[in-house]
């Protein structure tokens, strides 16, 4: 019995490693995109949130926080402490939003609406960090642009997740079921 639970735990850890690697690969690919005109420095579409949303919906919120932490550490290692803090705070708010909305009965917003809401939460967290770092509320001026950007990118990532869900489920079944 104990051996079986160790095997199950090992498979779960392996799955989290694969999902973490997928999130990091998407983050890295995003970093190769040119800066978006009219957007604050470092604004990216958030494609790695596809993995986080999948993890919240199919595996669990605690595991999604691990993915969030991995992404924040990657941002810190590749872009510095400011990027780490923005990624961590934005990611935590985003993951909390995803989790709360996915637990709602009937998921009235659907995957795309949850994705948009979590993108807005992520950007709000980043702006909060920017205001603390700058010791000024000037960064709040970016909020209208970021909300528009969150709607656009949230719709894209939510739609992509909808179509990737069967493949991600098959991948997870390989690790979670005997």
Q: 166 by DSSP, 3-state: which?
A: helix
| CATH code (residue 139) | 1.10.1760.20
Q: Which tops the pLDDT comparison, 104 or 92?
A: 92
Euclidean distance between the first and the last CA atom of the chain, given in angstroms as a whole number? 14
Domain count, the chain: 1
**CB of 151 within 8 A of CB of 41?**
no
**Segment 44-62 mean pLDDT:** 93
**Rg of the chain's alpha carbons, rounded to an integer?**
17
pLDDT in tens, 101-146: 999 877 788 999 999 999 999 999 999 999 999 999 988 988 998 8
- Domain extent, residue 33, equals 2-176
CA atoms within 13 Å, Cβ hemisphere of 60: 6
pTM exceeds cut of 0.85: yes
């Amino acid at each position: 019995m104990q051996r079986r639970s160790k095997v199950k735990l090992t498979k779960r850890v392996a799955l989290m490693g694969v999902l973490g690697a997928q999130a990091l690969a998407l983050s890295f690919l995003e970093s190769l995109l040119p800066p978006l005109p009219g957007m604050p420095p470092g604004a990216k579409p958030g494609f790695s949130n596809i993995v986080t949303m999948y993890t919240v919906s199919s595996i669990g919120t605690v595991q999604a926080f691990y993915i969030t932490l991995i992404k924040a550490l990657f941002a810190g290692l590749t872009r510095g402490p400011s990027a780490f803090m923005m990624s961590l705070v934005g990611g935590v708010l985003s993951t909390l939003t995803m989790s709360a909305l996915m637990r709602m009965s009937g998921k009235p917003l659907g995957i795309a609406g949850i994705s948009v809401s979590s993108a807005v939460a992520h950007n709000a967290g980043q702006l909060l960090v920017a205001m603390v770092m700058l010791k000024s509320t000037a960064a709040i001026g970016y909020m209208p642009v970021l909300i528009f950007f969150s709607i656009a990118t949230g719709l894209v990532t939510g739609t992509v997740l909808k179509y990737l869900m069967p493949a991600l489920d098959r991948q997870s079944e390989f690790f979670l079921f005997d």
